[in-house]
Amino acid sequence: MLAKDSYHGLGPIRRTSVQVKCGICHPDAWAGRTRVLRNSDEGSRLRSWSEVMGGSVRSRPVGALSPIPDLPGRSAALICAKGLGSVGSVLLAEDLLLLGTDASGRLSAPAAQVDVALGGANLVELTLMNKVDLSGELDQGKPGRIMVRDPSPTGDEVLDAALGIVSAHQGKKPSTVIRPLGKNLRRTLYERLALSGVLRAEQGRILGVFPTHTWPAQDVSHRAQVRRLVTQVLVQQTAPHARSAALVALLYALRYEHKIVDPGDCELSRQQLRERAEEIAKSDWASEAIRQAIGEIIAAVVAATSAAAAYGSVTSG
């Protein structure tokens, strides 16, 4: 049985590769999209992005066709429910980690900040699934506190572990659960992504002594697909669905949007890109619970940055 504060012991998943050819910043570049399946038998289980996301796109499709296979350890709600599911059946936290990992397989942002954001991503994920909420005036206890609305299993091992962590913090402020949610999560997600063929695990040593672990891309198609979706929301200003908006809000919390979308390539200033991300993060796409969670994530990221800077000044002094 999983411990309340641990993601350890979670098993592998199986995912299908999708390769996409399309434009990134300019709608005119949408020439055609191709998909390549490693197992052709899974073709019958494909659904278009617009179908999975509830047909919220008003002009062009927000993404190419995505695989919806049966994945062991994955939530059926994430895969099939209208309005849920990221690209295929990948968690928000996994998409965020992929975007935050560079070509060499290393984090592009400080680990403490990423861990906070990953924990927050799982909190947002559970809230989008109507599993977790903030207490209101009609609920017992103080308003604005964490509460579990639906304790039934999600069907996804990582989210089930996260739900257990949230359950142990019911009645407390959202800020108290974000760090516990991020504990041990990054390694668990890296291992799942490696086992599914999206990344590969590599080990090495610095100066022949200190062990290192990197996670370079094995199959770049999924990350490219996610990056394109973020670009369409930020640059083309396509009306975002809740999950796309949530991912942008998490990138905004990390101050990472300019590393996903190059402002120069899209004829925007870095400030304009930042303002667009802020607009999405604070807009009315989300419930009050999610907006407060995003605020808590931003505060926690800032705190992690300050702590790291303070530690660096002490050790260098």
pLDDT at 153: 94
Domains of the chain: 27-316 (1.10.3630.10)
What's the pTM?
0.71
Rounded Cα distance, 239 and 219, in Å: 28
Query: Residues 65-98: pLDDT tens digits?
Result: 233 233 445 444 443 333 343 434 789 999 999 9
Answer whether residue 39 shows pLDDT above 50: no
The first and second tokens of residue 228, run together, are 């394109």
pLDDT at 76: 43
Answer whether residue 309 shows pLDDT above 90: no
Percent of the residues in the chain that have a pLDDT greater than 70, as a whole number:
68
Backbone angles phi, psi at 71, to 5 degrees: -120, 120
One-letter amino acid at 163 equals: L
Answer whether residue 62 shows pLDDT above 60: no
pLDDT band for position 40 (cuts 50, 70, 90):
very low
pLDDT at 274: 94
pLDDT band for position 204 (cuts 50, 70, 90):
confident
pLDDT band for position 7 (cuts 50, 70, 90):
low
List, in sequence order, the alpha helices (H) in the chain. Answer: 49-52, 76-80, 92-99, 111-128, 157-167, 175-182, 185-195, 221-234, 242-253, 257-260, 270-281, 288-316
- Helix axes 92-99 and 242-253, enclosed angle (nearest 10): 50
pLDDT at 91: 95
More confident of the two residues 284 and 228? 228
Backbone angles phi, psi at 210, to 5 degrees: -85, 120
CB 127 within 8 A of CB 243: no
